[in-house]
Amino acid sequence: MLIELLPTFFAAAIALPLVWHGSIKSRAESRADLSYRVSSMTYWSGVILKRTDGFFKKFGDTNRTIEKRELQLKAVSEFPFIRQTILREFPYVRDWTHEERLKFEIRTLIIMRKKHFRGAEGFEISNYHKIIISATLARLTMGIRRKFDLPRFQLIEVYPREFYSRLIERDVKGLTLGNGRLFLSWAHFEEGHDDPSDKVHVGLHEFAHAIMIEFDKFEYTPAWADWHREADPVYRSIADTENHFFRQYGGTNMAEFWAVTVETFFEQPREFSMQFPSLFRETCRMLNQWPQEVNGEIVKW
Ligand SMILES: [Zn+2]
């Protein structure tokens, strides 16, 4: 087995230093931009080469890299504002570990830089809006390792209020399209953000649709079958239950139920876990996120 791999190792031994050389040059050219080379092949080749001590063991362990990046981040001009805004707008991060906070901040920054934000119908989009929207996505995908930024979605268009969609021929508060475009009404986004426990958040809702599209309707996500099995009876019960724990809109179809479940998961985790423990557990598995529990009761995110 090992012998069969030898040619690959030799090829890598020759190719990687060349790539690494290129990476030194390009990194030096964009020193202020270091953190954005996270996904760059050349950068990672460099990281791998530098870690000759236990290359296989450490591959994939990004914690040390993240810590080292904190220093580099200080060179990124908008970073202090991102940190400040996150602390103010997502105050629960104060309870998180240093690593978790840093990961959240870095991911927010990466998303913010990668997405194209556009204001529509006169909406002037500022860095503040971009941070809140990016952090909402980062929050939702904190447990997802690859594609946490949902690369299929390039454009986020923000309207000042409800807007008319020609595609579905009615006014909407948010819309997610399979072609990688996501639309939001800022008025409703803000309303959802400002009330963190009413189970309604158009940002989380639309991003939940976007995750589903990004990951091919979860066709290759092993946890989806279990989630679906637990979700099905709950979903069916919405239509004929008054004051159901999940809002009526979740009963429209399974994609809407998924989006409504995600909103509920973040906004009322304790009640959700008490009333529908198995569905809650499966939602944790789907998002790879578990809130902190004490004696079986959720105390905080
Ligand atoms: Zn929806």
Give the CATH number for residue 202. 1.10.472.150
Q: What is the Å distance from ligand 1's center to 54 Cα?
A: 46
Whether residue 56 is predicted with pLDDT greater than 80 in this model: the reply is no
Are 167 and 41 within one domain?
Answer: no
182 Cα: distance to centroid of ligand 1 (angstroms): 12
For the cut 80, the answer to whether the pLDDT of residue 218 exceeds it is yes
Residues 41 and 154 in one domain: no
Q: Give strand ranges (E) for the chain.
A: 116-119, 155-159, 163-165, 170-172, 174-177, 181-185, 292-294, 297-300
Same domain, 66 and 124: no
pLDDT for 73 beyond 50: yes
* Interval between CA 172 and ligand 1 midpoint (Å): 10
Q: How confident is the model at residue 137 (pLDDT cuts 50, 70, 90)?
A: very high
Ligand 1 center to residue 174 CA distance, Å? Answer: 8
Pair (84, 39) in one structural domain: no
Q: Would you say residue 5 lies in a domain?
A: no
Measured CA to CA, the distance from residue 22 to residue 19 in angstroms comes to: 5
Choice between 160 and 15, residue whose per-residue pLDDT is larger:
160
Number of structural domains found in the chain: 3
Q: And the tokens for 179?
A: 């072609």
Q: What is the average pLDDT across 123-139?
A: 97
Boundary of a domain, candidates 24, 54, 76 = 76
CA atoms within 13 A on the CB side of 233: 6
Residue 7 falls within a domain, yes or no?
no
| Ligand 1 center–CA 82 separation, angstroms | 28
Q: Taking 80 as the threshold, does the pLDDT of residue 220 lie above it?
A: yes
Q: How far is the CA of 150 from the centre of ligand 1 (A)?
A: 17
170 vs 162, 167, 188, 252, CA distance in Å?
Answer: 10, 8, 16, 16
**Which amino acid is located at 187 in the chain?**
A
β-pairing, 155-159 with 116-119? parallel
Strands 170-172 and 174-177: unpaired
Return the closest-CA partner of residue 266 out of 148, 138, 180: 138
CA of 175 to the centre of ligand 1 (A): 7
Q: Are residues 26 and 109 in the same domain?
A: no
Residues 166 and 203 in one domain: yes
Task: Please check whether residues 124 and 192 belong to one and the same domain.
Answer: yes
- Residue 96 burial by CB count (10 A; 0-12/13-18/19+): exposed, middle or buried? middle
Is residue 49 in some structural domain? yes
pLDDT of 39 reads: 42
Q: Is the pLDDT of residue 72 over 70?
A: yes
pLDDT higher than threshold 70 for residue 5: no
Range of the domain at 23: 13-76
Single residue among 172, 190, 213 that ends a domain in this structure? 213
Query: Which run of H or E residues covers position 191?
Result: helix 186-194
If asked whether residues 204 and 93 sit together in one domain, one would say yes
In a domain, 255, yes or no: yes
Q: Distance, CA 138 to ligand 1 centroid (Å)?
A: 19
Span from the CA of 107 to the centroid of ligand 1 (angstroms): 24
User: How far away, in angstroms, is 70 Cα from ligand 1 center?
Assistant: 37
In the predicted model, is pLDDT for residue 300 greater than 70?
A: no
Work out the number of other CB atoms within 10 angstroms of the CB of residue 250. Answer: 24
* Averaged pLDDT, 11-25: 51
For residue 261, being part of any structural domain is answered with yes
- What pLDDT sits at residue 45? 42
What's the CA angle centered on 29, arms 23 and 32, to 5 degrees?
Answer: 105
Does residue 272 form part of some domain? yes
110 alpha carbon to ligand 1 midpoint, in Å? 25
| pLDDT-derived band at 11, boundaries 50, 70, 90 | low
Q: How far apart are CA 168 and CA 34, in angstroms?
A: 42
Instruction: Please give the residue that has the higher pLDDT: either 48 or 79.
Output: 79
Residue 132 lies in a domain: yes
**Nearest C-alpha neighbor of 217 from the set 180, 255, 249, 250:** 255
The mean pLDDT value of the chain amounts to 83
Asked if residue 139 and residue 242 are part of one domain, the reply reads no
Residues 234 and 181 in one domain: no
Residue 49 confidence (pLDDT) above 70: no
Same domain, 52 and 90: no
Evaluate whether residue 8 is within a structural domain. Answer: no
User: How confident is the model at residue 285, as a pLDDT?
Assistant: 96
Choose the weakest-confidence range: 71-85, 138-152, 163-177, 216-230: 71-85
Point out the domain boundary residue: 46, 76, 106. Answer: 76
CA of 229 to the centre of ligand 1 (A): 20
- Both 72 and 95 in one domain: the answer is no
Write out the two tokens for 195: 């009330």
Is the predicted pLDDT of residue 113 greater than 50, yes or no? yes
Is the pLDDT assigned to residue 57 strictly greater than 50? no
